[in-house]
């Protein structure tokens, strides 16, 4: 494996083409030494790139997973897929359980993805970060604010959080992997987390 480190723009471009997770894209770009076409080929060989084409398929099947941790934290999460066959597989059930565990371990998760965060809240957070960067040179203030916003979103959006069992992978990487294995569009649709006394 090469020492090549992909830029955020390169990772984003590869994600848009393949629909693969952030870490999968970073690894593929590292292995292909920054060659986008080579990275796409690697992801396709691994069955990961196909998931981007599945993203528009409806997910009317699936299951609701419930998890209670020590009588103190409870989670309900709805995971969608395309067929009841896949919903009944051990792999899919295991994925749903892992997502419930992730949510129970993270009190910060409030939304599934960035698209779910209200636009006015994003603008409000951005204003706060701009104010915090007011003492910095004008040409870098917005970049600092955008960086802080990105960090906040990666904390409150479930798909962007580091996976609790492997911090080198995100929850979205996990979702992409199960989609590749099952050959179906897999979506985390919604969740609720309860904490006693909170």
Predicted model pTM? 0.69
- Assign domain 8-49 one CATH number from 1.10.8.10, 2.60.40.10, 1.10.150.20, 3.90.550.10: 1.10.8.10
Q: Determine whether 84 is exposed, middle or buried from the number of CB atoms within 10 Å of its CB (0-12, 13-18, 19+).
A: exposed
Class of domain 61-112+157-195: alpha beta
- Closest to 79 measured CA to CA, from 196, 184, 153: 184
127-184 confidence digits (pLDDT tens): 899 888 888 888 888 888 889 998 999 999 999 999 999 988 899 999 988 888 888 8
């Amino acid at each position: 494996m090469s020492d090549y480190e992909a830029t955020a723009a390169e990772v984003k471009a590869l994600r848009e083409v393949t629909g693969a997770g952030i870490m999968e894209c970073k690894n593929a770009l590292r292995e292909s030494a920054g060659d986008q076409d080579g990275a796409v080929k690697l992801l396709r060989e691994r069955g990961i790139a196909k998931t981007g084409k599945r993203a528009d398929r409806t997910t009317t099947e699936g299951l609701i997973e419930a998890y209670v941790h020590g009588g103190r934290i409870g989670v309900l999460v709805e995971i969608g897929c395309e067929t009841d066959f896949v919903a009944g597989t051990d792999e899919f059930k295991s994925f749903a359980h892992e997502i419930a565990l992730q949510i129970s371990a993270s009190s910060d998760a409030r939304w599934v993805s960035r698209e779910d965060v209200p636009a006015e809240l994003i603008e409000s957070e951005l204003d706060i970060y701009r104010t915090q960067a007011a003492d910095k040179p004008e040409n870098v203030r917005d970049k600092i604010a955008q960086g802080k916003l990105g960090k906040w979103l990666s904390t409150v959006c479930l798909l962007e959080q580091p996976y609790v069992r492997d911090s080198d992978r995100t929850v979205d990487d996990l979702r992409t992997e199960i989609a590749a294995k099952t050959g179906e569009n897999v979506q985390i649709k919604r969740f609720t987390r309860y904490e006693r006394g909170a």
